[in-house]
Structure 1
Amino acid sequence: MQHNDIWRAIDALAAENGLSASGLARRSGLDPTAFNPSKRTGPDGRARWPSTESVAKVLAATSTGMDEFASLITGNLRTASRPSRRIPLIGLAQAGSSGYFDDGGYPVGGGWDEISLPEVGDPNAYALEISGDSMEPVFRDGDVIIVSPSAPVRRGDRVVVRTSGGEVMAKELLRQSAKRVELSSLNPAHPNYSFDLEELTWMHRIVWASQ
């Protein structure tokens, strides 16, 4: 068993409950950043294990038994209780083009590929493949994120937004008022954004990432 096996199991458990890794930490009564990629390695670059207390809190918060969690670690998933399905997939760079989403931000059209990923409970969930380094260090080139149009969006969530001009970007929601939305860039080298609500076509929460 390796470090990545444990972290992958935690990510899968988050996805099965319709949560991001930070959302799972928050539900478990932990610091929202407890499961961030930056916390998975130490300052010296050596891989870190999640604490047994953190794992215990996660299992309690999701009503998951040790046998089920062990199956996520080993990859020997019981298909009756851990289903997966084919989810529409396109590259993030393609998402701004016309023909991939309807007016509500739901995936449409025949240009999507498909990928088999953990069930997230939203029949309209879709996947985007990250390209380039604009989302680092949170999401890296080649990572796949699952986005849920029906998941509630709260402050601190990582989201995908589409502007009225057709630009699609992954950001963190800083705050939302009755008139404006403020977004933080995932890559500190890029600026933050502030939009009037009418400037955004939709905003969907990222619930899982293949990191």
Structure 2
Amino acid sequence: MKSIEVAKRIEKIAEEKGISGAELARRVGTDRSTITRYYKGTRKISMEELPKFAEVLEVDVIELLFGSEIKNISTISHEKIAIPVLGKIACGEPILAKENIESYIYKPVDSLPSGEIFALQAKGDSMEPTIPDGAIVLLRVQPEVENGEIAAVLVNGDEEATLKRIRKENGFIWLVPDNPKHQLKQITEDYPARIIGKAISYEKFL
């Protein structure tokens, strides 16, 4: 996906919503000249920046990436809800506490399953080729998943969420990367971890 195409969609949506370049810059926390360079294609928009633009423009990251193409996938409700994208988990706080929320994406209500939904941005290549680095993964809050399913798992003292495939074998639970370059890890007293959600969809943006 070319950055200039994404920038043109951002510019078009901003214009439709009456948001000037200067106002857009203020809302996303940058300067007017940076927005101008995005629009002209002389500076690339990173995947890390897209959720903020989507939040400000009240659209989905997918819409910024693919535009009207995404609307042709299926007939869905126009009503959208804000789904929190979690950053670092605040120790001791509920999973969807404000302290944990980095940004929001917007999804049609009819496209989501029941339950509490949150999102994580994949970082690193441990789940490639299934989930590439930078992909936005939607998850449903639940403490257990079936053997072989992908889950969001809290590690490092409940402060970091990682995406791994769950393997249950002989009474043990393993966190398994899809990328064979990475090692699987067993949940033990020395390496505690707990499942917080099941992956329900993920978009490949590469």
Question: Please, which runs of 5 or more residues in structure 1 have no aligned partner?
Answer: 1-71
CA distance in 2, matches of 1:175, 1:159: 13
Q: Which letter does structure 2 place at the counterpart of 1:115?
A: I
- Residue 159 of structure 1, CA deviation: 1.1
More deviation in 126-135 or 181-190? 126-135
User: 2:112 aligned to 112, 120, 125, which one?
Assistant: 120
Whether 1:206 and 2:199 are equivalent positions in the alignment is yes
Q: CA offsets, 1:121-180, max 9 Å, x none?
A: 3442101112332322111122110111138510110111112523422111111665x3
Conserved 8 A contact 2:153-2:162: yes
Distance (Å, rounded) in 2 between the aligned partners of 1:79 and 1:173 = 33
RMSD after superposition: 3.1
Name the CA distance, whole Å, in 2 between partners of 1:100 and 1:125. Answer: 20
How many Å apart are 1:114 and its aligned residue?
Answer: 1.0
Contact 1:163–1:202 (CA under 8 A) maintained in structure 2: no
Alignment of 1:1-211 (within 5 A): 74-75=72-73, 77-79=75-77, 84-90=80-86, 94-95=87-88, 97-98=89-90, 101-102=93-94, 106-110=95-99, 111-118=101-108, 119-150=111-142, 153-163=145-155, 165=157, 166-175=159-168, 180-196=172-188, 199-211=192-204
Instruction: Tell me the distance in 2 between the aligned counterparts of 1:162 and 1:76.
Output: 34
Structure with bigger gyration radius: 2
Change (3 A) 1:86 1:164: same
CA contact (8 A) 1:128 1:145 kept: yes
Contact conserved, 1:84 with 1:116, CA < 8 A, in 2?
yes
Structure 1 residue 206 displacement after superposition: 0.6
- Give 1 or 2: higher helix fraction: 2
Aligned length: 131
The 1:78–1:148 alpha-carbon spacing in structure 2 relative to 1, beyond 3 Å, is closer
Distance (Å, rounded) in 1 between the aligned partners of 2:92 and 2:104 = 13
Amino acid at match of 1:109: K
> Which residue identity lines up with residue 181 of structure 1 in the other structure?
I
Q: Any stretches of 5+ residues in structure 2 without a counterpart?
A: 1-69
CA distance in 1, matches of 2:93, 2:114: 16
Q: Which structure is richer in relative contact order (CA contacts within 8 A, separation 6 or more)?
A: 1
Change (3 A) 1:76 1:175: closer
TM-score (norm 2): 0.52
Calculate the TM-score normalised by the size of structure 1: 0.51
